[in-house]
Structure formats: C-alpha cells, structure tokens
Structure 1
Amino acid sequence: MSSIRVFILGALAERGPMHGHQLRLLAEKEHVHMWTDFRVGGIYGALNRMLAEQLIDPVRTEREGGRPERQIVRITDAGRAALDALRLGTLSAFALKPDPFDLALARVGKDLADELPDLLRSRRATVATAAEEHRARLEHVDRYLNLTERHVMAHQTYRLQAELDWLDSLLADLPAIVRAEQTRETD
C-alpha cells in the first residue's frame, strides 16, 4: 500500500487539479507527517512516478509572480481506479509488519546482554517521548479534526501506548532474560 499515492490521488479526486506545492501545503495543513508513513517532500517524486504511470495528467502550467513555473495535474480515470483499489485494499486488509527490533532482541547474544537493560530503557524513553509529543500535537490540532480524523489520531495514541505497555512487560522480565542470554550456549 502506498500512503503517498492515496493522499495525492485522494486530494486530486476531492479537490480537483493542483500542483505539487499545493499538495505539499495541504499535507502540511493536514499534518500527514503525524499519521502517515511518508514525508511531505516525497510528494514531488511520487507525482513524477504517477505521471509516468498515467494515473495523473498535466492540465496546464502556471506562474505566479517571480515563482517558478508549476505544473497543474489532475487525476485520470486510471488514477481513480487505482485510488479505489488502494482504498479498498487498505481498508479491508490488516498487516502486522515485523519489527526488526524483535529479531535483534531474540538474538541479542552474550556480548550485548549486559547492555540490554540500558538499551531497553533508552528505547522506552524514546517511545515515551514520542507518545508525549504525539499527545501535545494532538492537543494543538484536535479542534481542527473531524470525527474520522480524531479516530485516526487515536489509532496512533493506542499504538504508542501498546508499545509502552509491552516494553514495561519486557523490562519487568529483563533480569531473567539477561541471565538466560549470559548462560545460553550456541549451537
């Protein structure tokens, strides 16, 4: 699933033709960096790829004052079909992606066993900071969100809290984990 494609094609379908800078401003206004897996600067490369795939078409170019010329694009019929397929696939599928952290934890080994407590406490502090920053941003933008967007933001809140709860459980079992790693024999 490509979040950036859903954003761009969805914006063009809902709002009509736009240029890349307008899409970037919309992404910033909607704070997509808080709840998607793409950065707003990636919009320009995605536009070029979608132009090549004929999911969007150039409509015209325009220039405002001394600014560079900007290409206005619109969604094509193929782009609308791709958007529908992306939305349907994303809304109906669940993907639990493996976290490389789990593999590193499972294979921490004797060499890092002594460092594991500090590493995990540091990770927990990082997640706690991210959760607090998320809460602060949410307080700042909450009044601008509709009900659906509030649920989207709550999804992030729940995911961050679940990670904190899991890390607390892991930290509680850490002495036994460290002992086991220090005495584990390799095959």
Structure 2
Amino acid sequence: MSRPLTPLALTVLRMLCDQPMHPYEMQQRIRDHCYDLAVKITHGALYHSVERLAATGLIEPVETSREGRRPERTVYAVTDAGRDAAHLRLADLLGRPAEEYPLYGTALAFVNLLPEQEAARELHRRALALEARLAGQLTAWESLRERGIERYKLLDLELAIAQVRTELEFTQGLGADLRTGRLTWKDDEDMTSCRSYPEETP
C-alpha cells in the first residue's frame, strides 16, 4: 500500500492473522475484545477497509456462503504481504512516537480567551467527565480480565487508563490553582478576549 496502514486496517489484519473470517464476525470480535476502545470503528468504515485491503492484495477472499435469506458473506484471509505490512506498521507505531495534536492542548494554549472563573468551571466539568470515563475503563478492564483475557491483549486499555488518570490529575490541579489564585492571567497585558470589541473611532 502506498499510504501507511490506518489503525482500522491494522485492526482487520490483526484479526485475520488469528483466523479467516467475514466482516460480520470481525464486528463481533471487535466488541468482544473492546478493540473499539483503541480504534475508532464504524460499520461502514470497517467494510470499506476490508474492500481496500482486498483490492491491494493484503487480504483475499477464500469462501463465500449464504445462510437462508441473509446476504452473501465473504470470508477473508490475510496474505503474506498483509502479514508483512501489519508487522512493519506495528513496529513503526510501537517504536516511533507520532506527532499528535490533542484538542485539550489546543484549548489550554488559548485558555486566556476565557475569564478565569469560566475556565475553572469548564475544567471542573472536564474533571467530572474524566472521572466517569476512568470508572468505565476500569470496569471494562476488570471484566475482560475476569473473562480470562490475557494482559498483553489489554495493554492498549492499560495505556488509556494511565492517560486518563494523568489528565484527570492535571485537570484537577489546574482547576484548583485557578480557584485559589495561584494561576491568573488578569494582569496579562497581551491578553485578548473573545468578548472584547475594537473601540469606535469618531
């Protein structure tokens, strides 16, 4: 493939490295193994990714079957080229930090556009949402472990939990600093506000 494998394409190849399957079965496995916590997956995108991988020779159809009045289901298997592509892409993702631009970082870069009290309120709102997300992730991790899923299959979830914990701690501390006055931008002469308007000239 001329372009790097997308996370969804890598997900498909990873599943097919275990065994051949059709896209509907892939959807079930994604839910069962919570791959959708690590990769953004939609029904249409999954089928499009399968078609694209087949068109580029990284997977191939091996069987087509029909059950009753249901549409035909094509079973796909990974090719040697697909295994090699997945191996190379995974090694690159694992070993090379990508330059990412999280939206939270963007918001923090321009936080002084908001009044301090409003910023503190929004940070508190974010902290509550992060607490709920963290609780959900911990519940999912514990459930999967109780089902006997090996830890190495849950490392992406462990990373997500660690990241949310870190962001939650940072957000709570930042909000506390604003509320107590340890952080302020009231005296920033260069501050611009989205509520300010240019002065009228006669």
**TM-score normalised by length of structure 1:** 0.86
- 1:149 paired with 2:153, answer yes
CA distance in 1, matches of 2:117, 2:169: 23
Greater CA drift, 3-12 or 103-112 = 103-112
Partner residue of 2:28 out of 25, 44, 63: 25
CA distance in 2, matches of 1:93, 1:51: 27
Contact 1:12 1:75 in 2 (8 A): yes
DSSP 3-state at the match of 1:184: coil
Please identify the structure whose Cα radius of gyration is greater. 2
How far is the alpha carbon of 1:67 from its aligned partner? 1.0
Equivalent in the alignment of 1:39 = 41
What amino acid maps onto 1:137 in structure 2? A
**CA, structure 1 residues 131+96, in 2 after alignment: closer, same or farther (shift >3 Å)?**
farther
- 1:121 paired with 2:124, answer yes
CA distance in 2, matches of 1:177, 1:113: 11
Write out per-residue CA displacement over residues 86-124 of structure 1, whole angstroms, 9 at most, x where no aligned residue.
Answer: 121122223362222222222123444331111100011
Contact 2:61 2:75 in 1 (8 A): yes
Equivalent in the alignment of 1:161 = 165
Contact 2:13 2:83 in 1 (8 A): yes
DSSP 3-state at the match of 1:156: helix
Equivalent in the alignment of 1:185 = 189
Once superposed, what is the RMSD of the aligned Cα atoms?
Answer: 2.2
CA distance in 2, matches of 1:137, 1:80: 29
How far is the alpha carbon of 1:185 from its aligned partner? 2.6
How far is the alpha carbon of 1:149 from its aligned partner? 2.5
Identity %: 23
Contact 1:56 1:73 in 2 (8 A): yes
User: What number of residue pairs does the alignment pair up?
Assistant: 184
Equivalent in the alignment of 2:174 = 170
**TM-score normalised by length of structure 2:** 0.80
Unpaired segments ≥5 residues, structure 1 = none
Unpaired segments ≥5 residues, structure 2 = 192-202
Contact 1:19 1:70 in 2 (8 A): yes
How far is the alpha carbon of 1:156 from its aligned partner? 2.1
Equivalent in the alignment of 2:195 = none
DSSP 3-state at the match of 2:63: strand
- 1:57 paired with 2:60, answer yes
Greater CA drift, 109-118 or 68-77 = 109-118
- Equivalent residue runs for 1:63-102 within 5 Å: 63-95=66-98, 97-102=100-105
| Greater helix content | 1
